């Protein structure tokens, strides 16, 4: 079946602009995660959605970052007023439930000039 998809695959933007990154999880997966991967920094947890529960936003680095998940499926990560330090690969993953194996998308490479 289809895996996790993300779009766009690459995004180049100017400092100060807003960007939206999209994630389509595997159908039926109730848990959805966003991570940020920077060179030498490993995987940085950003936000986690589980079913209809309130999302865990504890990893969002600033109030410029927000995410939503509509209808328990597609999720959008929004970064407002982008800064150069936001440049990274943004990964989305989904799993059947909170403790199950996560399946990762290919990521969106964001470059802020």
Partner 1 sequence: AQSVSQHNHHVILSEAASLELGCNYSYGGTVNLFWYVQYPGQHLQLLLKYFSGDPLVKGIKGFEAEFIKSKFSFNLRKPSVQWSDTAEYFCAVISSPSGNTPLVFGKGTRLSVIA
Q: Which of 15, 17, 81, 98 binds partner 1 (CB under 8 A)?
A: 98
Q: Which of 26, 93, 110, 112 binds partner 1 (CB under 8 A)?
A: 93
CA nearest to 75, candidates 105, 98, 40: 105
Q: Which residues contact 99 (CB under 8 A, 6 or more apart)?
A: none
DSSP H helix total and E strand total for the chain: 0, 10
SS3 80: coil
Binding region for partner 1 (CB under 8 A) out of 12-20, 22-30, 63-71, 104-112? 104-112
Structural tokens at position 65: 């970052």
Query: 60-89 mask for partner 1 (x: CB under 8 A)?
Result: ------------------------------
| Cα(40)–Cα(107) distance, integer angstroms | 17
Q: Does 91 bind partner 1 (CB under 8 A)?
A: yes
Q: Does 10 bind partner 1 (CB under 8 A)?
A: no
- Binding positions for partner 1, rule: CB under 8 A: 3, 33, 35, 41-43, 45, 48, 50, 53, 56, 91, 93, 98-99, 101-102, 104-107
């Amino acid at each position: 079946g289809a895996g996790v998809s993300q779009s766009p695959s690459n995004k180049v933007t100017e400092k100060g602009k807003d960007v939206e990154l999209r994630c389509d999880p595997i159908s039926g997966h109730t848990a959805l995660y966003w991570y940020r991967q920077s060179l030498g920094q490993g995987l940085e947890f950003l936000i986690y959605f589980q079913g209809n529960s309130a999302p865990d936003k504890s990893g969002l680095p600033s109030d410029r970052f927000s995410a939503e998940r509509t209808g328990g499926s597609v999720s959008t990560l929004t970064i407002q007023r982008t800064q150069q330090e936001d440049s990274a690969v943004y990964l989305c993953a989904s799993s059947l439930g909170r403790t199950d194996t996560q399946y990762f998308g290919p990521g969106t490479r964001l470059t802020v000039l």
